[in-house]
Amino acid sequence: YSDGVLVEKLMQTDTTVIGQKIVYPTSNDAEITIAKVTIPSGKQTGWHKHKIPVFAYVVQGELTVETENGQVVTYPKNATISEVFDTFHNGYNKGKDDVVLIAVYLGGKGMLLSEKKEN
């Protein structure tokens, strides 16, 4: 890059937040999705899991995530997240301001970004 351009490495990892080895999905038609996710105060994502690698950056607010085994982690503004996969989890906003995330999903055409937990 040219002089004056600053590149800050936000994350470099080969595991998820709970130590799972990151494995790329098998697909003939690779597809990356980048989404802005807004969770209003008092709201939650609902229990869900991913079958593909997902990475997120907390732009605003503070996100709390609980996994199905009871582990709870809180991510403040500017945190990076290497999300769990094949593990149900729920993200919620206990703060007064919206939580805003930028999420990057590494999947393939026709692959779901997330699967809701059946009740």
CA-based end-to-end distance of the chain: 50
CA dihedral 13, 16, 19, 23 (to 10 degrees): -80
For the cut 90, the answer to whether the pLDDT of residue 26 exceeds it is: no
Confidence at 114, pLDDT banded by 50, 70, 90: very high
Structure confidence by residue, pLDDT tens digits, 49-79: 999 999 999 999 999 999 999 999 999 999 9
Give the pLDDT of residue 82.
97
Dihedral sign for Cα 95, 100, 104, 109, please: positive
CB-CB contact of 33 with 113 (8 Å):
yes
Q: From the DSSP assignment, how many helices (H) and strands (E) are in the chain? A: 0, 9
Give the pLDDT of residue 5.
95
